[in-house]
Structure formats: C-alpha cells, structure tokens
Amino acid sequence: MANETTSLSQDQALDLHLQKSGVETDRLINHPVGLFVLFFTEMWERFSYYGMRALLVLFLVSEASKGGWEWTRPEALSLYGWYTGLVYLTPIIGGLIADKLTGYRKAVILGALIMTMGHASMAMEGISMSFFYAGLVLMMVGNGLFKPNISSMVGKLYPAISDKKDAAYTIFYMGINSGAFLGILMCGYVGEKIGWHWGFGLAGIFMFFGMLQFYFGQKIFGVIGQKNDNKAKVVAGEAELPKKVVTERLMVIFVLSIFTIFFWMVFEQAGGSMTIFAKDYTLRSLTGSSGTLFKWADAALTIFPLIAVSVVLFGLAKKIAKKYPATILFTGLSFVIMWGLAIWKVEKEFTAVSTEVPASWFGILNSFFIVSLAPFFSKLWEAKFNPSGPIKFGLGLIFVGLGFAGLAYGGSDIPQGATVAQVSMFWLVFAYFFHTIGELCVSPVGLSYVSKLAPAKLVGLMFGVWFTCTAIGNWLAGATGGLIDKISTEYSISYFFLIFTIIPIIAGLLLFALNPLLKKWMNGVH
C-alpha cells in the first residue's frame, strides 16, 4: 500500500509539473510522450555517431587496396582518442550557449544540422582528405550543441526531484543504444562490405531524419527548452536552496564526474583496442554449421530490435499523430528506409558463399545487451533495489573490469608479440555483456543525478562538466589503447587487458568507501 501511495504521489507531481510547463500530458509506458520524441531524436543521432565511429579505426588501418589509409595502429588509435575526446569536450561550450543564448531546443536543431553536414563531408573522403577532416570537425561542433541540451530536456520533463527520473533516463538510454546498435550494424556492414564512403554517408541520412522529427514536434514540450526557460517562474519548480546545500550537491557531481573518467577510459576501448582485437585476433571466418548459425543469429539481431523500436514508434504515433503529423511522418519514413536496409542485408548474407563476421559487428553487442537489459534495470531501480548513486557507480566500474578479465583470460594463449591470432568470439561476447551491465550502472544513472543535483540555472553547465570528464576518459582510451602493440610485444596482449581489469575495480572499491560522505552531501536527493 505504501508503494502504491508513493507511486501515486509521484504521478500526481509529474502531472502538475507538465501542466505548469505547458507540456503534452499524454503518457506512453507511464511517461510523458515528449520523452519518446527525445528518444527517437537521440536514437538517430547515436545511429550517426556510432555508425561512423564503428568504421573510423577500421578505415584508417585498412590497406589502400581496400580503400583505407593504411595508418599504423597507434596513429589510428591516437586520432580515435582525440576525436572521441573532443566530441565530449565541446558540450561544455554547447551547454553554456544554450543556457545563455539559444535555449535547449534551438541548440539541438542547430547541432543536428551541423552534424548532418559533417557526415556528408566525410562521405566525400574519396575526393580529398580535407573533406574527411572537415567532417570530423563539424561533428565535434554539432555534438557540442546537441548532446548536453537534449539530455537536459529529458530532466526538465520531470519535477526537480523525482524518483521517475532514473527510469526516464534509462528509457532514454534505450533510445541511445537502439540507435548505436542499428548504426554499427548497418553503417559497419555497408562500410566494410560495400565502401567506406557509403557507410559514412548513410550515417548522415538518419541524423537528418532525427533533426526533422524533433523540429516538427517542438510544441510537445511547452515552454521547456525555450530561451531563458530557466528564468521562467512557471518551470522553476524549485525553492531557493541554501548555498551550502548547492555547493555540496555540486561537489557530488564533481566527484562522480571524476570517477567517470576511469570508467570511460576502459569502456571506450570498444572502438579502439577491442576493435583491433576483433579484426586481428578473433576467429571471424566461419564455415559449415557455425556459419549458418551466425547467419540466423545475425538476422535475428537485425530484425527483432528493429521490431521493438517500431512498436514504440507505433505507440507514440497513436498518441500524437493527429496533433504532430510531420513528426510521425519523418520518423515513419526513416523506419521504412531502415526496414529496407535490414531486409537487403539479411538477404545478402544468406546468399553469400562464405561467412566472415565483420570486425565492426561486435560493437552491436553492447547496444543489444543495453536494449535487452535496460527495462530490467529500469524496474530494478524504480521498485526493487535502488542503492545510492555512488554504489551504482562503484558496481559499474567493477563490472567493466570483470569484462576485461574475460578478455585477458581469452587472450592468455596468444604468444608475446603476435600480431594475429584466432581466439574464440566468446570472449568478446563475454566482455561486452559485463561492460553493458557496468554501463547501465553508470551512464543513465549519472545523467539522472546531474539533473537532480544541479540547480536549474546550472543544469546545462553541469552536463557540460559531466561530458568534459567523459571527454578526458575518451582521450585516455585512445592514448592507452595505442599502447596495445608496445605492451603486447614487451609482455603479452593478455597483460594489456589485465591493466584495464585492475584500474576500474580499484576505482569502484574507492567509491564504495566514499559513499557515506557523498550521501551526506546529496542532502536528501536519492
């Protein structure tokens, strides 16, 4: 009965908040329909980002005869680290621009447009290398405007302190990873099998659709996301807090942000050293029954997640199609194209004579596990087991370390200095599974805590700080991943992955020790 009362009061508070903000009050899965407009916008943005990222290192290290640039592994991983780092550094500027000048909505639209131009530029890499580098710069700039501000809008849909925020950010995170899954799957396949520039261009098409569906659905959000909406009394919903409370809560954001550096430094090996491991050290040429089994598994992984997000789109269409037909039209058109690509890909694989798993394919595992496990974690945090943020973060760091323990064990038979091997695919699957559990304990929870702990006038800036620490972690991922040749030559590749086992586990245990102090500094926020 107590749980029902608490749930009812949370829903009443949400309804009141939506009405005051002029937001559409219709619900889908007991959350505002606006959350799902943001879900699909973010989904296509992540499709474009991860679709391109899946190809970046592979393109750079591939032979010129295969259309690549034949860079060395350290060179490719260095550019990867700088790009992924700067992509997460620009949001601190984008957050300030939105807070002071444009508002969240205009920043999201402008950022999406700039990123679309970036992907188009990269698609022309065959004409000149300059187009490739210009595309990277445009995507860094566009991401800076887009990323922190769409995350801020998710938090703005809910009252300042609401237990539903963790669940909302987990649902939003499903959108992130649905897009990442489809982007890696489709852009990776097209890039490796057809041509790199086709993969880069495909990423931009869906970024464009994401921008259009958000642009035509803006009125769903009422005053949320408009310029200076933080100063509007109607959406403030937050009493003036004592300076000591604000300072302590900001300190919690700072501490958690610092620990995310350790998380992303090891987690983002996925696009770097783990991609190299998949390309050169993993058995990917399959024959006989194993090849047939992979074709069916790949077909299922292509079709069923697409069915799942299509069902979400159908549910949203029933709620808002009459009021916002253009939003549903452009999202629906993007899904028609995606279904066409999916059917073409499955048919092409089943008619192929030989079966070789694309090196980029393994990147979908993280997103697949996210989409599969996120509903479970959403319910877990909302109803069953909901420890404090620092405990969740500590668990996340330990789980990501366990994933690398599996890779260290799987690569233990690779001789010192070997540049190729034939390790079972199982160990990459194992690693991505544990990395996903770790990510669900850190990333959506972190977004939620930044939203809850930061005062309204500093939300955009604090998301910028959060993504700055993510940027540092991404840069360190490229820098440390670039040591794969040096460490595997002097010691072994197993030793290389063991380093990424130990670092996050130690950081996780340290967070457990800091939990009592951080809980006190939260001043009642859970």
CB neighbour class for 65 (10 Å; exposed up to 12, middle 13-18, buried from 19): exposed
Go through 135-154 and write b for each residue having 16 or more CB atoms within 10 A of its CB, e for each that does not.
bbebbbbbbbbbbbbbbbbb
For the chain, which residues make up each domain, given as ranges? 22-228+288-356, 241-284+361-525
Count the neighbouring beta carbons within 10 Å of the beta carbon of residue 296: 12
Distances 428 to 66, 301, 486 between C-alpha atoms, Å: 25, 16, 22
H-helix segments, 285-425: 288-320, 325-351, 364-379, 389-410
Task: Tell me the β-bridge partners of 355.
Answer: 286
Cα angle 203, 322, 102 (rounded to 5 degrees) comes to: 55
- Residue 353's pLDDT is 82
CATH topology assigned to domain 22-228+288-356 = Growth Hormone; Chain: A; (1.20.1250)
Q: How far apart are CA 17 and CA 220, in angstroms?
A: 14
- Residue 526's pLDDT is 67
CATH of 241-284+361-525, one of 1.20.1250.20, 3.40.50.2300, 3.40.50.300, 1.10.1740.10: 1.20.1250.20
- Residue 329's pLDDT is 95
- 249: DSSP letter: H
Q: Residue 102: which residues within 8 A CB-CB, separation 6 or more?
A: 110, 227
Q: 319 and 28 in contact (C-beta within 8 Å)?
A: yes
Q: How far apart are CA 468 and CA 476, in angstroms?
A: 12
Predicted confidence pLDDT, tens digits, the chain (526 residues) = 444 434 446 778 888 888 888 888 888 888 999 999 999 999 999 999 999 988 999 999 888 888 889 899 899 999 999 998 888 888 888 888 888 889 999 999 999 999 999 999 999 988 889 999 999 999 999 998 998 889 889 888 988 767 777 778 778 878 888 899 999 999 999 998 899 989 999 999 999 999 999 999 999 998 988 876 654 444 444 557 888 888 889 999 999 999 999 999 999 999 889 999 999 999 998 888 889 999 999 999 999 889 989 999 999 999 999 999 999 999 999 999 999 999 999 999 998 888 889 999 999 998 888 878 877 887 787 666 778 889 999 999 999 999 999 999 999 999 998 888 889 999 999 999 999 999 989 987 887 788 788 887 787 778 778 878 988 999 999 999 999 999 999 999 999 999 999 999 999 999 999 999 999 998 877 6
How far separated are the first and last CA of the chain, in Å rounded? 21
SS3 411: coil
Q: Residue 384: which residues within 8 A CB-CB, separation 6 or more?
A: none
> Which tokens sit at 368?
């697949």
Q: How far apart are CA 270 and CA 479, in angstroms?
A: 13
> Which tokens sit at 20?
């005051």
pTM for the full model? 0.83
SS3 32: strand
CB neighbour class for 64 (10 Å; exposed up to 12, middle 13-18, buried from 19): exposed
Q: Which one, of 124, 120, 95, lies nearest residue 108 by Cα? A: 95
Q: 262 and 504 in contact (C-beta within 8 Å)?
A: yes
Whether 241-284+361-525 and 22-228+288-356 are alike in CATH topology: the answer is yes
- Residue 511's pLDDT is 94
DSSP string, 335-361: HHHHHHHHHHHHHHHHH-SSEE--GGG
Distances 308 to 182, 315, 331, 349 between C-alpha atoms, Å: 12, 11, 15, 22
Amino acid at 336: V
